[in-house]
Homo-oligomer: A and B are copies of this chain.
Amino acid sequence: MPRIAVDAMGGDFAPDEVVRGVAKVSLSSDIQMVLVGHADQIQGLLDAGEYDPELISVRHCSSAIGMAEDPRDALRAKKDASINVAARMVAAGEADAMVSAGNTGACVLAAAKHWKLLPGIRKAALASVFPRQTEYEGQDHLALLLDVGATIRCDAIELAQFGVMGSAYARTISKVPTPRVGLLNMGSEPNKGGEVLVAAHRILSSLPAIHFVGNVEGNDVATGRADVIVAEGILGNVTLKLLEGVAEVAWKLASHAAHDNWRWRLGMAMLSSGIERMRDLADFQTYGGAPILGFEHLWIKAHGRSRAPAIANAIKVAAKAVRDGIVPDMTEAVAKLQ
């Protein structure tokens, strides 16, 4: 039974929604969960609803890192913050993986502080799942983009390692046996994008363990061309937020137009089931968060705005990843890279 440490104090709606998410999972699974945070507060929230006490334990700690705090300063000043305590528990083997909806910078830095990188890995990556069009029957409608912000700039070897780790993660989580890996670039030819990307293309092409489909351009991101898209942090971060931003603007434009015009309003009503479907697809709540890849343990970073269902999904993803042996898989894939 996987044991997941859950940062009860991280997220815009913590601890309420985090505790509710954990309680929910306890009623429908065999996942062991440790809620890390203010014990009295957590117990009060648990008691206000239904939960399975066999599956939930609480680890008290006195402080928490706010969503807007400077991650570096806060991690240093608050040794007893829930995020530090939970990460240390995982490092000590008291839990198998970690879930937090807290401050993203603090999550990445806490993982780096308390956990070891996999042998040979130079930098960890934050990988985000996003919905896109599919190209063939059975292709997952979600793809993986990494890095989206754990790094800023990367060299060729770091990018190649992201490809290997992302491929291992996608293989396990999405059950696609050979995920297509693409390198985000400004042209499709192997000689595009400058020294670093040309070298990354060469290294990725030479790895028999992954299915490298070459460079992918901005217009390929929302298609099914690649299941795993590799980019340095700044490029991946802008790409991910642009996808989120465009979906939001399109939704607002459509709603606004519908408000002004009866034909549009009627049209939108006709389309509502489909629009809801697209909205669901674009809704991070259903994904279960973004894994931080590259460490000896798995950290699932849930969205800061996560409510109970999103937290529950993140915990289920973490448990599945532990069950399916994602870290050993990744370790093996990375070892072959040397």
- Rounded to whole Å, the gap between the CB of A239 and the closest CB of chain B is 6
* Chain B residues positioned under 8 Å from A77 (CB to CB): none
Known: A252-B133, A267-B269, A271-B271. A218 touches B193 (CB 8 A): no
A257 at the interface (CB under 8 A from B): yes
A residues at B contact (CB < 8 Å): 132-133, 149, 152-153, 184-186, 193-194, 197, 217-223, 233-235, 237-246, 248-250, 252-253, 257, 261, 263-264, 266-271, 273-274, 278
* Chain B residues positioned under 8 Å from A132 (CB to CB): 249
Taken together, the copies of this chain in the complex come to 2
Interface of A is mostly: helix
Please determine whether A270 and B266 come into contact, CB atoms closer than 8 angstroms.
yes
* Chain B residues positioned under 8 Å from A237 (CB to CB): 186, 217-218
Which listed residue, B152, B184, B197, B270, touches A194 by the CB 8 Å rule? B152
Please determine whether A242 and B218 come into contact, CB atoms closer than 8 angstroms.
yes
Interchain CA distance A99-B220 in the complex, whole Å: 28
Please determine whether B219 and A245 come into contact, CB atoms closer than 8 angstroms.
yes
Which listed residue, B234, B248, B257, touches A193 by the CB 8 Å rule? B234
- Rounded to whole Å, the gap between the CB of A122 and the closest CB of chain B is 17
Known: A186-B234, A238-B235. A245 touches B267 (CB 8 A): no
**Nearest 6 CB-CB pairings of A with B:** A218-B241, A267-B270, A219-B245, A218-B242, A267-B271, A186-B237
* Chain B residues positioned under 8 Å from A252 (CB to CB): 133
- Rounded to whole Å, the gap between the CB of A146 and the closest CB of chain B is 14
